[in-house]
Each structure stands twice: as C-alpha cells, then as structure tokens.
Structure 1
C-alpha cells in the first residue's frame, strides 16, 4: 500500500467491481475518458476477478482510497513501461464526484509518481489529457507536470473533436504537497 497525505493506493480487489461499474456508467465521470462499450455488472466483476496479474512490471493498477476513511474513490495506473528509457504513462480517474476538487487526485498522482521514481527507477512519467479538461490540467500542473505537446483533434466527445495535451514530469520536477505553515 502506498500512502500520500490524503489517499492510499492499494491493489484492486474483486469487491471494487461494483464501484467501477457505477462510475463507468456515469456520464459526468466518463466525460473526458476513453470509454468502451457498456458492460453489465457481471461482466465488470468477471473482468476485475480475471485480471491476471492485477499489477506487474508492465502495468501497475491501483485503487485510490481516502486515507482517513478507507473509502474507494478512484483508480490510477502506470503502464507502458520502457525500462531502458525509464519511462511510463500515467492514467487516473476519480469516480466519486464528492472527492473532486478536494486534492485527492493530485495527491494520488504525486504518490504514484514518487513510487515510480523511487522504486521503479523511472525518469519520466507522461500522460494525455483533453485540452478542455481544465481541472485535470491544473491538478497535473500542481504535481509538477508540464505541457510538452498537443495532438489536434485527438479525442471525440459529444459530436465534437477536442485537442489532447501531452504532459510530462521528470523525477526532479515532482512537486511536494503545499502545506500551510
């Protein structure tokens, strides 16, 4: 288990399937995410249970829970590892809308990146974010990510094309949490 200031990151459990299913059927939660075809709760349970291995050196998938309550609020992942180049790609989403804007996402990003840099010997972590997702872009910048490029019309939602922003953080750029002093 990885612990940040506000969150803990832990392995996914079969009991997490119901929350994943609920989040994946919430249009607000999935607004800026790539989505697949709708799945039943039984299909989601099977997918979570059969995911072997849940995490590996190629893909580290973790549940995000609140540190104080232990309540599941989202999912994060490091994937597409390139060991020879010290690189990986980060994905994250918070499914519990009452956790939005509270710093949980930024803390989860920092916690996972710190683990990637310290334990997995990564040098850089990248992510893609929809340009119109201003809240996510602010959260990533707060953790130390900077914009590296733009893919024009790389994401389609609601009949419109949106640009995607490539953001990267290098190990020496990860920002610590801002504590009031």
Structure 2
C-alpha cells in the first residue's frame, strides 16, 4: 500500500485530529526544533488553524503518522505551498510523541511521503527548512537525498543564541536515482 511501511501508516488528517495536534503544538520540547515562534496556543486557535490552514487549503496535504503495532498516532507530516504548475512543494514533519524519537519513524514516514510526492503526484521538487542546531533532522534529510540549497543566516533566536535556518531541496530525478542505488 502506498501509505504504509513496515511500522508506519499515514492517514489523512481530519478535524478530529485537532485536539491531538494541539497537544503536540503546545509541547515546547516537540516544537523547539520545528516551530520558529514557540507560542502557546488556545485550543480554539489550534482548531481554527487545522480547519482553515491545514485542511482548508487546496495547496496543502497533511497526514497523521500511525505506529502500526499499537495503532497510536505519533506525528504529523505535511506538504505545504503545493505549486501544481511548477510541480513543487515544501514538506514538514513533526514526531509529536517523544518516545518515538530517534527510532527511524521519521525516516519511514518521510519515505512514504516522498514516494507519494514523486511517484504519484509527479512533483519535480520538494523543499524543506531545518534549524541549524537540529543535527538529527539534517542527518535524516541528507540521508534521504536532500541537498543544502542555502540558509537564512541568524534568523532564529533560541535560548540566547542566533541560529541559521537551512534550506534543503530534493529533485524527482535525484530521488529516483537514489531509490535505484538502494534497491
């Protein structure tokens, strides 16, 4: 199945997922590495964000990552800013359940999304942004074939220090070539 690996299953996000997403969105440890603003949100704000921005946009697709063994939602993976004309999109991934960090679930979820993006949607390019201190994510993205394309210097302030936001991208033909090498 397209949205399933050995341990992870992706399902479309629904408005019923807003409460779960709210828990992850307000966990500062989860958002530290992915959200530039680190705000605390009211449940009404999260529900409106899910309804209007995540589910209400024709230029976004979001999926809840499910750990298949215990059928537990563990994170969210999204495509945003989908540009169908130029065949580009940006991806975002958050593992909201911390006990699943560093165990390969993000890699499996991202591979499922990239297979969908390149084989089914036939997009040409996927980009993402990652904070320069997030070594684990940078390693994952590099392993998946993303290349650093630039950075926004000192544009993120965390715990008294300035960090860069690194811009990475992956082209369809690069992904296909990597899949052939790994087969």
Q: Same fold (TM over 0.5)?
A: yes
Mapped partners of 1:138, 1:97: distance in 2: 18
Q: Does the 8 A contact of 1:11 with 1:54 survive in 2?
A: no
The alpha carbon displacement at 1:87 in A equals 0.9
RMSD of the TM alignment (CA)?
A: 2.4
Residues 115, 99 of structure 1: CA spacing in aligned structure 2 closer, same or farther, 3 A cutoff?
same
8 Å contact kept, 1:128–1:164 = yes
1:59-138 counterparts in 2 under 5 A?
59-138=60-139
- Aligned equivalents of 2:53 and 2:156: distance in 1? 29
Gaps (5+ residues) in structure 2?
none
TM-score (norm: length of structure 1) = 0.85
How many residues are aligned here? 177
Within-5 A mapping of 1:161-172: 161-172=162-173
Cα displacement string for residues 113-149 of structure 1 (whole angstroms, at most 9, x for unaligned residues) = 1101112110110001011100011111121112121
Once residues 53 and 142 of structure 2 are traced to their aligned partners in structure 1, the CA distance between those partners, rounded to angstroms, is: 33
Report the equivalent of 1:41. Answer: 43
> 1:3 is paired with a residue of what secondary structure?
coil
Which structure has more helix as a fraction of its residues?
Answer: 2
Shift of 1:38: 2.0
Structure 1 unaligned blocks of 5 or more? none
